[in-house]
Amino acid sequence: MKTLLLLSMFFSLNAFALHPCEFEMTQDFREALTASGVKPLKVSKAPSKFRFIEKQMIHLTISLQEWLSGVSRNEALELFVEDRNDGEILYYHLDGKDIALVHYYPGDNEYGAFIEMKGSAFALLAEIRDSDIYCY
C-alpha cells in the first residue's frame, strides 16, 4: 500500500514539472503554468528598482536580437521599459530550478529570454523571438 501511495505521489508531482524548453511558443508555456496553478514568485518591472543582475539580464535579452546586438546597457534598459514594450521580469521556481522570464513587446509579439538563476550569476536557457521559444 505504501509503495502504491509513493508511486502515485511521484507521478502527481512530476506531472506538474514545467520547463520552458518543453514548449514551442510562450503562449503554450503560459497556458501550462495556468493549468498547473503556477504563478510567478516575484515580478520586477519598475526601472528604478531593477537590481544590478536584472539590468545585466535585460541587456543580454535585448542584445540577443540581431539588429540590437551592439546596444549599450542603458539603451537596452530604455528599450525594455518603453511604454509600449511593457518589459518585465517574472521569477518562477520550476522543476527544482529558479528561472527568470525576461520579456517585452517591441511590436505585436513577445521577445525575451528564459534565464536560470544561480545565486548571483545566471545562465541563458532559451531565447524568445516572435513568441517562439528557441532553447540552447
Global pTM value: 0.84
User: How high is the pLDDT of residue 17?
Assistant: 64
Residue pLDDT, tens place only, 105-130? 988 889 999 999 998 899 999 999 99
Confidence of residue 66 (pLDDT cuts 50, 70, 90): confident
Instruction: Say if strands 97-104 and 111-118 run parallel, antiparallel, or are unpaired.
Output: antiparallel
61-87 burial, b at 16+ Cβ within 10 Å, e below that, comes to bbbbbeeeeebeeeebbebbbeeebeb
pLDDT at 70 over 80: yes
Give the position of cell 496553478: 37
Can you tell me the distance from the alpha carbon of 31 to that of 36, in angstroms, rounded to the nearest whole number?
A: 9
Summarised one tens digit per residue, pLDDT across range 96-106 is 999 999 999 98
Question: How high is the pLDDT of residue 107?
Answer: 81
